[in-house]
Amino acid sequence: MASRPGQKIKLECIEDILGVPEEGTTEVDIRAIHPFENHPFKVLDDEKMNELVESIKDNGILTPVLLRPDDEGTYEMISGHRRLHAARRAGLSKVPAIIKEMDDDEATIVMVDSNLQREEMLPSEKGFAYKMKFDAISHQGKRTDLTLYLGDTKLSAGDKVGQNDGLNRMQVFRYIRITELIPELLNMVDNKKLALYVGVELSYLSHVMQEWIYEYIHVKGMIKQEQLAALREYRGKKNVKKEEIMQLLDDSIASVTRANKITLTAHKLYKYFPAYYSKAEMEKVITSLLKQWKLQNDNQLV
Query: In the CATH scheme, what architecture does the domain 5-115 have?
Result: Alpha-Beta Complex (3.90)
Dist CA 248 CA 227 (whole Å):
8
Each domain of the chain, given as residue ranges in start order, spans: 5-115, 121-179, 181-261, 266-301
Low-confidence ranges of the chain (pLDDT < 50): 1-13, 15, 17, 143-147, 149-155, 255-260, 300-302
pLDDT in tens, 216-231: 998 888 888 889 989 9
pLDDT in tens, 138-157: 776 554 444 454 444 344 66
Per-position b or e across 123-147, b if 16+ CB within 10 A of its CB? bbbbbbbbbbbbebbbeeeeeeebb
Strands 33-34 and 75-79: what pairing?
A: parallel
- In single-letter form, the type of residue at position 221 comes to G
Dist CA 126 CA 133 (whole Å):
10
Instruction: For Cα atoms 231, 232, 233, give the angle at the middle one, nearest 5 degrees.
Output: 90
Half-sphere exposure of 259 (CA within 13 A, CB side): 7
User: pLDDT value at position 119?
Assistant: 66
pLDDT in tens, 96-151: 999 999 999 999 999 998 888 776 789 999 999 999 998 888 776 554 444 454 44
User: pLDDT value at position 271?
Assistant: 76
Closest residue by Cα to residue 176 from 206, 134, 118 = 134
User: pLDDT value at position 140?
Assistant: 64
Cβ 198 vs Cβ 228: under 8 Å: yes
Q: Which residues pair with 27 in a beta bridge?
A: 96
User: pLDDT value at position 42?
Assistant: 86
Which residues, 6 or more positions from 215, have their beta carbon under 8 angstroms from its beta carbon? none
Dist CA 88 CA 92 (whole Å):
6
User: pLDDT value at position 292?
Assistant: 84
- Other C-beta atoms closer than 10 Å to the C-beta of 52 total 24
Per-position b or e across 186-221, b if 16+ CB within 10 A of its CB? bebbbeeebebebbbbbbebbeebbebbbebbeeee
Dist CA 190 CA 67 (whole Å):
29
Which residues, 6 or more positions from 145, have their beta carbon under 8 angstroms from its beta carbon? 154, 155
